[in-house]
Amino acid sequence: MPPSQGSAHPFRLLGVYAALLAVIYALVFFTGDHSPKPKLGIDLQGGTRVTLTARTPDGNDPTRESLQKAQEIIENRVNGLGVSGSEVVIDGTNLVITVPGEESQQARALATTAKLYIRPVLYAAPPQAGGAAAPGQPVPGAPSVDPNAPAPGQAPATGDPNPPATGDPATPAPETTAPAPQSRVFPAQAPPTPTPPPADLTPAQQQAKEIADAKALRQSADQNMQQVAMMSMDCTKPDPLAGNDDPALPLVTCSQDGTEVFLLGPSRIDGQEIADATSGFNAQQARHEVNLEFRSSGTEAWGALTGEYVNKRVAFVLDSKVVSAPQVQQGPQLGGSTSISGSFTADSASELANTLKYGSLPLSFTTSEAETVSATLGLAALKAGLLAGAVGLLAVLLYCLFVYRMLGFLAGFSLIAAGFAVYGIIVLLGRWIGFTLDLAGIAGLIIGIGLTADSFVVFFERIKDEMREGRSFRSAVPRGWARAQRTNLSGKTVSLIASVVLYLLAAGQVKGFAFTLGVTTVLDVIVLYLVTAPLLMLAARSPFWAKPSVNGLGSVQQIARERGAGQVRPKEMSR
């Protein structure tokens, strides 16, 4: 059986692996934060915990099904952001999110209800100092009371235009200037003074009352109430209506940055019509945007809305606050895509796109203050685990040295080469996809690298089989490799399939175990072809390695000689 293709160029294959290591560590030391340390999981470095308390409009406890649905969506958002090692658990009627490190803002972003509606802008004005204006005083940009005023859905939009909303964000729209807001005078009507809730109300009942009061004031179809709501709107306070507004009614709300107060018409497009959401950088406008792709029904609604509101503003309302309110400067937009622009950074645009992509939560939540979680196992456990792995690998090397003599050193060199590659890859994965290494992941690494020793054993035993047939060490190595690689590939394929299935079906830290086991399995095959096989091919050509006292195969050669002598002896006796 001829040697496998490529085994005749061992130095070339070793050079490929050396170049691969050089690229990995060049990325480690010259990209990102240049730190050669992997990200550690919650059990090793601690983390940040945020408790989410459900807020239902009627004040009743949320159903178990809605909590499980919210847990699933938040877990999908975690995976979409690449935050490995996070935990989302149901605790009674609450959800508890724990993320590694001290990224409390990231944990809070995962809890965004993400109820997105696209509403037409009826009026817009700057917020009033203190959230209210004195009766009878002019309020810039506010609507006046007119019994003959058009219906809310027909009122013109005012305010300085934001960047245009277009079906194709890469195509610049013509410049259009909206009319400047004018000062109006309210009738002598002071905003209502909220009555304090009764002392006997439970927290859930108090929340329900706050939501009901906010709806009655800010979602009224009465124009007087709308004016009062705009006057009394305080954009600096938490919004009790967040995620609980009725899309079929008008809405008075603030922009996310608190610079405008809006009167919005009923929702024209629901966020459920979004098929996909991605973030990107618009080079022409020099800003980060969130690009949306609508489903077919959403595409038709978007075309109708932009055709109706040319030179007027439409608002993207996320959890009852306006994310962006651009002016429609081209219409109707018949494409199935648009973009949300705002004061986004690359990270905030990515987080919003990820939130919208996986859908809105069935519940709205209030978040607790972020609290620091200490490492459940800590560095002492990490050192103990690494020590146990080192002892195990040392035992494997000693066994290889005892059984295979100097060939055991080749196995040890291959293990070291695999270890260097695995470490560099884990560091890079922590930077690129947020992978965090916990004790379960370390167990997967140790087992995966340990399984690499199985490849050596299979290879060495195939060489023994060839030498028992009477072949020399030089000819047995390439023939043994040709037979061993099929066995090794079959075993690694089974291991990889098991890792993938375990990763898809498991949850929590078991995913980390499956992930690292899969990575080391793939790397094992690479090391086997680029390091182990070339080293043994070089050894087969060396007279030193061919000595039985060096390769430990003297007993096998003795068996081959005895078999050869046994085949000759019967012929001699027949004479």
For the stretch 262-276, pLDDT in tens is: 999 999 988 888 888
Work out the pLDDT band at 179, boundaries 50, 70, 90. very low
CB 287 within 8 A of CB 341: yes
Given the DSSP bridges, would you call strands 287-294 and 183-185 parallel, antiparallel or unpaired?
unpaired
Check residue 464 and give its pLDDT. Answer: 84
CB 232 within 8 A of CB 131: yes
- Ranges of CATH 3.30.70.3400 domains, the chain: 47-111+348-373
Residue 456 has pLDDT above 90, yes or no: no
Residue 164 has pLDDT above 60, yes or no: no
Q: Which residue has the higher pLDDT, 342 or 417?
A: 417
Residue 400 tokens read as: 């290889």
- Ranges of CATH 1.20.1640.10 domains, the chain: 10-38+378-566
Q: If you search the block for the tokens 């690694």, which residue do you land on?
A: 492
Average pLDDT (293-308) is 85
187 class by beta-carbon count within 10 Å (0-12 exposed, 13-18 middle, 19+ buried)? exposed
SS3 category, 475: helix
Check residue 369 and give its pLDDT. Answer: 63
Work out the pLDDT band at 198, boundaries 50, 70, 90. low
SS3 category, 330: coil
Work out the pLDDT band at 83, boundaries 50, 70, 90. low
pLDDT digits (tens, 9 = 90+) for 88-126: 888 888 888 887 766 556 666 666 767 888 999 999 988
Residue 134 tokens read as: 């004195």
Residue 133 has pLDDT above 50, yes or no: no
Check residue 191 and give its pLDDT. Answer: 53
The percentage of the chain sitting over the pLDDT mark of 90, rounded to a whole number, equals 12
What are the φ/ψ torsions at residue 549 (nearest 5 degrees)? -70, -20
Residue 319 tokens read as: 């959890």
Query: Measured between alpha carbons, how far is 482 from 488 in angstroms, rounded to an integer?
Result: 11
Work out the pLDDT band at 14, boundaries 50, 70, 90. very high
Tell me the range of 73-87, 123-137, 437-451, 560-574 where mean pLDDT is highest: 437-451
pTM for the whole structure: 0.56
Residue type, 351: E
Q: Which residues contact 499 (CB under 8 A, 6 or more apart)?
A: 514, 515, 517, 518, 521
What architecture is domain 10-38+378-566? Answer: Up-down Bundle (1.20)
23 class by beta-carbon count within 10 Å (0-12 exposed, 13-18 middle, 19+ buried)? exposed
Residue 228 tokens read as: 């009062």
Work out the pLDDT band at 508, boundaries 50, 70, 90. low
Average pLDDT (373-390) is 71
CATH topology for the 47-111+348-373 domain: Alpha-Beta Plaits (3.30.70)
User: How big is the chain, counted in residues?
Assistant: 575
Query: Measured between alpha carbons, how far is 209 from 457 in angstroms, rounded to an integer?
Result: 71
Residue 397 has pLDDT above 60, yes or no: yes
Query: Measured between alpha carbons, how far is 239 from 158 in angstroms, rounded to an integer?
Result: 24
